[in-house]
A and B are shown apart, each in its own frame.
Chain A
Amino acid sequence: MTYAVTEACINCKFTDCVEVCPVDCFYEGENMLVIHPDECIDCGVCEPECPEEAIIADTEPDAEKWVALNQKYSEIWPNITERKDPPADAQKWSGKLDKMDYISPAPASA
C-alpha cells in the first residue's frame, strides 16, 4: 500500500504534504513532487493537506499508473523534507486538469 502524487501537482508544488510526512518520503522534481512507494507507510496524513487534492491512495481507480510514475521519479529526484515556497505562477496552474504534458523529468535544482 502507498499513496501517490498525481498530475494535479504539476507546476503547483505547494509542499504542504512535505511538512507533515512523518517518514520524509517525498522527492522533488523541477515542477512536481512524488512519493517513494517503498518508503510511504500509508498513514495518509498528506492526503488532506494538499490544496490541489493531488494525492491519492493506491486503492483508487487508475492509481497504478501514478504509483509507477512516483516509483520512477522517486529514485531519480532528491529527497525534500521541508516546506518551501511554491512556484511564482502556482495559482495560475491551480485546478487545471490534464497537466501531464507539462511534467519535467528534471530533478529540482538545489
Chain B
Amino acid sequence: MNVMQLKASDFESDQEVRWCPGCGDYAILKVVKTVLADIGHSPDDVVFVAGIGCAARFPYYLSTYGFHTIHGRSAAVATGVKLANPDLDVWVVGGDGDFLSIGGNHTLHALRRNVDLNLLLFNNAIYGLTKGQYSPTSPVGTRSPSTPGGSVEQPVNAVSFALGAGAKFVARGADTLQTHLPTVLKRAHDYKGASFVEILQNCIVYHDGAFGAINDRSESQNVTVRLEHGQPMLFGKENDKGLVFNEQTGTFDVDELTNLKSEDDVAIHDETNIDRAFALAQMEQPGHPVPLGVLYAEPAAEFVDARGFTGTKGAWDRDALKALL
C-alpha cells in the first residue's frame, strides 16, 4: 500500500485523451482521477473494465489496470476479475448502449448478484461513437439516422432499471457538477456490493443539451433535487421548493415552501427506503426536479465475493480457490 498522498495526476496515463472537444467524458475523467487519489489505493490495486463506446475508452486514460472488453460484456468480465482477486478495487464503465442495450442482460445480473463492483453508466441518451443513432435512453421523438421520423419507443429509466434488478446501491450524478459528482462516486466506492451510478453526460456533437439545465452549473439547482440522507428534500436556487410525499398516490408532489403549513411537511430523504427510492426514480423533468445523489443504499446488504462464492469464511484463501480450478 502506498502511504504517500496520491494526486489526480498519479492516475493519468501516457495516452492522448481523444473524445470530441467539449465532451462530458472529460469532466467525468477529471472527477474520477480526483476521487481515486482521494480514496488512496495505489493504481496497481485498481482495475477499470469497459465495453465498447465513447465511454469505454476510459481504461486507456488511467494509469490503473484496465480491460477494454467486447460490447456489453464489461460487467461479466469485471465479475470475473473481482472473483479472482477480491482485493482489487474494480470499476466498470460504459454508456447507455453498452450497459442497457447490448449489455442490458449482464448489467442486470451483476446488480442482482451484488458483486462488489462500482458500475458507472455514462448516459448521454445517444449512440455517439457510431455517429448518433437513438439509444435505449433516448426520449420519445428523438430524430436520428436510425429514427428519421423520431423514435417511438419509451426510453429506459436507468435508475428504475437498476432498482428493479435488485441493486443495493443506486445513485445519480451529472458530468459538469464537479463538486457534487465526487461525493457520489466516493459513496459508490465505499459501498460494499454492486454500486450503480448513472452519470448524466452531455454529448456535444450528437445530442447536445439532452439534459437541459441539469448539467448547467448556474441553473441546475432549479431542476434537480440534491438528495442527502436524513435531510429535507428542498430544491431551487433559494431552497424555496420542496418534495411532499403523497400518501394517496405513493409519489412525490412538488410545492413552494410558502404554500406549506410548515417546513416539516417536506419529506425527509431516507436512502434505506426502497419504496421511496422507486418513487424518486420516477421523477423526471418537466414537472419534477431530477434527483441527484444516493437514491438508495441498502444497509448491511450481503455481497458476493470469492469468500462467499467458495463458502470459506475469514481471510481469502488464494490456494483454496486455485485448488478448485
Residues of A within 8 A of B (CB): 1, 20, 22-24, 39, 41-45, 47-48, 81
Contacts and interface: CB of A to CB of B under 8 A. Distances in A.
Nearest to A48: B21
Contact of A20 (B19, B22, B26, B30): B22
Given A1-B12, A45-B204, A81-B218, A22 B21 contact: no
A99 B23 CA distance: 32
B272 interface: no
Contacts of B24: 22
B113 to A, nearest CB: 34
Contact of B21 (A23, A24, A45): A45
A23 B27 contact: yes
A44 B27 contact: no
A49 to B, nearest CB: 9
A83 to B, nearest CB: 14
15 contacts: A1-B12, A1-B17, A20-B22, A22-B176, A24-B217, A24-B218, A41-B30, A41-B178, A42-B26, A43-B22, A43-B27, A44-B21, A45-B22, A47-B21, A48-B21
B21 A39 contact: no
B202 interface: yes
Contacts of B175: 22
B27 A39 contact: no
Interface residues of B, number: 19
Contacts of A22: 22, 24, 27, 175-176, 202, 204, 215
A41 B29 CA distance: 8
Contacts of A23: 27, 176, 178, 217
Contacts of A39: 178
Given A43-B26, A44-B26, 11 more contacts: A20-B22, A22-B24, A22-B27, A22-B176, A24-B218, A42-B30, A43-B21, A43-B22, A44-B22, A45-B22, A81-B218
B252 to A, nearest CB: 29
Nearest to A43: B26
B21 A42 contact: no
Interface in B165-181: 175-176, 178
Top 4 closest A-B pairs, CB basis?
A45-B22, A43-B26, A44-B21, A45-B21
Interface in B74-102: none
Nearest to A22: B176
A78 to B, nearest CB: 14
A32 to B, nearest CB: 22
A20 B17 CA distance: 19
A1 B8 CA distance: 10
Nearest to A25: B178
Contact of A42 (B17, B202, B217): B17
- Most chain-B CB neighbours within 10 Å: which of A20, A44, A48? A44
